[in-house]
Amino acid sequence: MLGPFDLLIPPALLLGSLLTLPFTLASLALKGEISRLSSWPQLRHLWFQHLWFWFGPNTKILFAPRVRPLLAQAKGVVLDIGPASGIWMSELSEAVKQGKVSKIYGVEPNRLFHPQLLASAKRYGMADVYEPLDVYAQDLERCGVQKGSIDTIITVHVLCSVGAETTELVKQLHEYLKPGGQWLVYEHVASEHLPVRMWQYLLNLIWPTLLDGCHICRDTMQTLRQAVEWEKIELVRDIKEGYFESLPHVYGRLVKAA
């Protein structure tokens, strides 16, 4: 906790994103792919891929104390929603090695990450287990994933970025869980403190544009609790984060009724 200086962390990330944009544009020029500038989704995905190259792995150490114990609970057939480059692949591989996980679908609509996902899966001995899916979470049936067939859903820093209406997406993903299936969650959410939440809303005027559709002020905890009926809700705020934390987290597990 940095006290009031925590308020400066999101602007620093926005600055990092802006500084990454010239590199993205230069890479397009060097590859002779300037035509991709005409497609905002393509440019946004490539821009975020370059940002994540340095940001994702370098921040893993900050979140690992909460995320690692969470992923250790994964079992059966897993939907890994929005894995990006797969920075948590090593943790998932432990569950595979222990025989707890039999299949992992990496639902990553930014296909630029797929080569990294496949390479990481091979590196950690999961080439036959991990399958990237080039779809958004709401389009899973197009890839043959059947409703009621999933034992574990994982969302780590994902629900802030879904383009669909979050409540509706939670309802849709809930249908893919088997009875008794679990949803493992680690998400940044809206602050419970009004002054900090107002700061989040101000930042959110440009946050989604610079960070591939991410929203800094979604009340994901309430959405997950209220969108559907759960048999068990073990979802809490991270009490180690202070009053001024501008990217506060909730984490835990939700279990579908058997």
- Looking at residue 109, what DSSP letter applies? S
Kindly report the number of other CB atoms within 10 A of residue 74's CB atom: 22
Contact between residue 175 and residue 125 where contact means Cβ atoms under 8 Å apart: no
DSSP secondary structure of 153-200: EEEES-TTT-SS-HHHHHHHHHHHEEEEEEEEEEEE---SSHHHHHHH
**How far, in whole angstroms, is CA 46 from its chain's centroid?**
17
In this structure, is residue 216 part of a structural domain? Answer: yes
Q: Return the CATH number at 104.
A: 3.40.50.150
Return d(Cα 147, Cα 140) in angstroms, integer: 9
Q: Which one, of 103, 93, 82, lies nearest residue 214 by Cα?
A: 82
Return d(Cα 5, Cα 38) in angstroms, integer: 38
In this structure, is residue 227 part of a structural domain? Answer: yes
Return d(Cα 162, Cα 184) in angstroms, integer: 17
- Calculate helix-pair angle for 194-203, 9-30, nearest 10 degrees: 20
In this structure, is residue 203 part of a structural domain? Answer: yes
- Calculate helix-pair angle for 166-176, 220-227, nearest 10 degrees: 50
In this structure, is residue 13 part of a structural domain? Answer: no
What SS3 state is found at 215?
Answer: coil
DSSP secondary structure of 77-92: EEEEE--TTTTTHHHH
How wide is the angle at C-alpha 222 spanned by C-alphas 203 and 73, nearest 5°? 105
User: Which residues span the domain enclosing 146?
Assistant: 62-255
Residue with tokens 């926005």: 14
Alpha-carbon distances of 243 from 60, 194, 220, rounded to whole Å? 22, 10, 18
Q: Which one, of 86, 105, 94, lies nearest residue 69 by Cα?
A: 94
Query: Side-chain half-sphere of 218: how many Cα atoms within 13 Å?
Result: 23
In this structure, is residue 11 part of a structural domain? Answer: no
State the pLDDT at residue 16: 96
Contact between residue 178 and residue 149 where contact means Cβ atoms under 8 Å apart: yes
**Predicted TM-score of the model (pTM):** 0.94
Please give the tally of structural domains in the chain: 1
Contact between residue 34 and residue 28 where contact means Cβ atoms under 8 Å apart: yes
Query: Side-chain half-sphere of 243: how many Cα atoms within 13 Å?
Result: 4
In this structure, is residue 133 part of a structural domain? Answer: yes
In this structure, is residue 48 part of a structural domain? Answer: no
In this structure, is residue 212 part of a structural domain? Answer: yes
Split the chain (258 residues) into runs of 10 and give each run's mean pLDDT. Answer: 88 97 93 85 92 93 96 98 96 96 96 96 96 92 92 97 86 96 97 96 96 94 95 95 96 96
Return d(Cα 79, Cα 188) in angstroms, integer: 20
